[in-house]
Chains A and B, each alone.
Chain A
Amino acid sequence: MKKIILLSIILNLSLNGLAQKIISASNPLEEILQKDFDSTILYSHSNRSYRPNYLIIAKKDSLVFFYRYSSMDKNFYSRDNAPLNSNIHSKLISNQLEFIETKPSINDYFSWVDTKSLNKSIWKDITKYNIWNLVDGAKLDSLDTNCETELHMGYEIFKLITKDKIIQLQYYNPRGLNEDCKFNQTRDDIVKIEEIIFEYFKLSIKLIQ
């Protein structure tokens, strides 16, 4: 019996290894999180016009810390944000460019949101979906046929940071693909995880502002 358990553990670990992308820290923020916490979930949304803003959920012992790394302006370069060619418009654009050109770290864009005990936080709700073992979007079954889904709807990116490694999971428009194409349980899990994260941060950010 012990042998079977051992075998399944090794098999499981190996298959996960093949289905996930292991990366190294790509900026000071990730390095610091790796050093300071037991494990961290770094969530971001990315499209061709949008540079990552991070929602961060970091666990240390029995506490979970919530942070945000973001620029103030969600929709970069909107021409409606000030009269065209005005000083304010130029300044807002240069602020955004500065954000893009700054390596994520513990700087002015980084802010604390909340701290909760492990049992009372969304950590357990997220880990219920077994996020650490989910298969990366690129490794999910090919959809094979043209399913007429819209392009450039954005990627959902999770970096799962622990002391020894960083797992990157990336999914292209999981909700859209599940609606327009073939249903996939992993994509559905990702949509649910996103909903939990968004709901929590939306509420918490409102409370602190």
Chain B
Amino acid sequence: MIKQFKPLIFICTFFAIAFSSCNKESTLLIQNDNQNSTNELKTLVNQVKVWHDSIVSNKIKGVIAENNVKPFNLGPDDIIPPTIDFDKAYKNFDTVEKKGISIPLEFNLITGSYLQFVTSIEKNKVSGYIVKTIPDSIYRVKHKNIYDYTNFTGVIIVYDIKGKFLNKIKFNEGVTQIANSVSQNNIEKIKSFDNLQTVTVTGYRKKKRTYLVINQNFSYDMDYGGGGGGDWVVVGGDAPAGLVEDIKTNITNPCISSVMNDILSKDKQNEVMSYINKEFGMNENCNMNISDVLNLTDSKGIFVAGNNRSIRTGSSLTVNIYINYGRNSSREFIAATILHEMIHGYIASQNIPQNGNEAEEIIANPQYVDWMSASLISLFPNLSTIDANALALGGLQETSYFNSLSKDIQDASLKTIGRHEAGSEGQKCK
């Protein structure tokens, strides 16, 4: 009897193993309903906050509000230490499983660059650093989970909490490539990344295992900036506010032209444009051409609001963007379309493949929606957040992120997009 069932048992076991191993690469273990953990985290955060405030207040005499410590002095190699929101703190474990606290400061949706304030507490002594993690573009595509640093490939830069550069380490598949690229001022103290024993960062280990434990109450605020816990802290310095003279436009429609001028205007700079600017306004090898086309259609001959094609020749990249002017869409809709296409151009400039389903999936996430939405509001101050969020979802309706939203949000967003596209809502061109 057992013999008869042996193959079946084998098959069932095989599939049980296969299914249970699916999608584990980027899985975070999240502890739910753990009141002890919450209290412990709060205590740790308070300790870190008291320590941090004392360090910072020794340096400058500024306004230090509750949970909102202001930036401090800068040096030539420094980042600008951002406002630190201690409510976004979460616990982590470093490579030697020392418990610490991380506080996300900035996350660049497109490059995956992640700035965090990390601390550890040992024998009542608190130490901390600001750590910037810049993943390689290919690694970024494969590891969408920002906490998954398994076999990390990219660069990690460490600063002290006064914003002073300490160390920069290049990793390739979890292995240090270039260590000791340390500023002369600190060369005596820091000889390798391992010397920074108190730096508590998530991951960087080769083996897949539990590397991060998050208390859910805190993790959601952090995961989805703007989703209830406040937006990501925006740090200046990364994206220069240069001119956008190298973006060539060939626009005949007066309405699209006026929206385009607003987008490129220095007076209305928004965060999306600061990144576009950085690549296409200042990099000779990256060119962007934007044209308008009457009745632009897709592969089935059906109207489409905009499209985009990137062409590489040697080391240079040309992004051609086409915007449809065969309709009377609102200025907000036109702006959302142009920004959306520009973001695809920026992704191309980062050498991230955008083929098929990947193109929209790459940008379909809450951070992108917040980012786009904020840019639209900066261009159209009277646009409501709900409408801006809906317009930011334009073109993402077939993505897994859009499908993960509630049916009510999906329906409402499609209606808003439709009304703006039809021009029955929003600002009309005169």
- Residue ranges of A at the interface with B (Cβ–Cβ < 8 Å): 3, 6-7, 10-11, 14, 18, 26, 45-51, 74-80, 84, 93-94, 96-97, 100-101, 137-138, 140, 142-155, 157, 170-173, 175-177, 181
Contact = CB atoms under 8 A, between A and B. Distances in A.
Contact of B359 (A151, A157, A171): A151
Contact of A48 (B7, B355, B394): B394
Given A76-B422, A94-B424, A146-B312, A152 B306 contact: yes
B197 interface: no
B304 interface: yes
Contact of B326 (A47, A78, A93, A147): A78
A143 B306 contact: no
B421 A146 contact: no
B15 A173 contact: no
Contacts of A172: 356-357, 359, 398
B424 A176 contact: no
Contacts of A50: 298, 302-304
Among B295, B356, B358, B397, find the residue whose CB has the most chain A CB atoms closer than 10 A: B356
Interface residues of B, number: 53
B348 A47 contact: no
B210 to A, nearest CB: 25
A77 B327 contact: yes
B423 A93 contact: yes
Contacts of B326: 75, 78-80
Nearest to B12: A10
A75 B294 CA distance: 13
B306 A146 contact: no
Given A48-B397, A138-B357, A143-B353, A96 B422 contact: yes
B263 to A, nearest CB: 19
Given A172-B356, A177-B355, A45 B415 contact: no
Given A77-B328, A93-B424, A177-B356, A48 B395 contact: yes
Closest 4 CB pairs of A and B: A48-B395, A143-B355, A172-B356, A153-B299
Interface in B329-344: 329, 341, 344
B304 A48 contact: yes
A157 B299 contact: no
Highest count of chain B CB atoms <10 Å: which of A6, A47, A50, A143: A47
Contact of A7 (B7, B328, B415): B7
Given A78-B295, A100-B415, A144-B353, A154 B302 contact: yes
B16 to A, nearest CB: 11
B103 interface: no
A147 B22 CA distance: 29
A12 B356 CA distance: 26
B298 A152 contact: yes
Interface string B103-114: 000000000000
B398 A175 contact: no
A3 B395 contact: no
Contacts of A93: 422-424
B398 to A, nearest CB: 5
B329 A77 contact: yes
Contacts of B327: 76-79
B353 A49 contact: no
Given A76-B422, A80-B326, 11 more contacts: A14-B15, A14-B18, A78-B295, A100-B418, A101-B418, A143-B353, A146-B354, A148-B309, A148-B310, A170-B357, A171-B356
B344 to A, nearest CB: 6
Contacts of B355: 142-143, 146-147, 149, 177, 181
Nearest to B418: A100
Nearest to B308: A151
B300 interface: yes
A163 B132 CA distance: 52
A48 B305 contact: yes
A153 B302 CA distance: 9
26 contacts: A46-B398, A47-B298, A48-B305, A49-B302, A49-B304, A51-B418, A76-B418, A77-B423, A93-B424, A96-B418, A96-B422, A97-B415, A97-B424, A100-B415, A142-B358, A143-B353, A143-B356, A146-B348, A146-B351, A148-B309, A152-B304, A152-B308, A153-B298, A155-B398, A170-B357, A172-B359
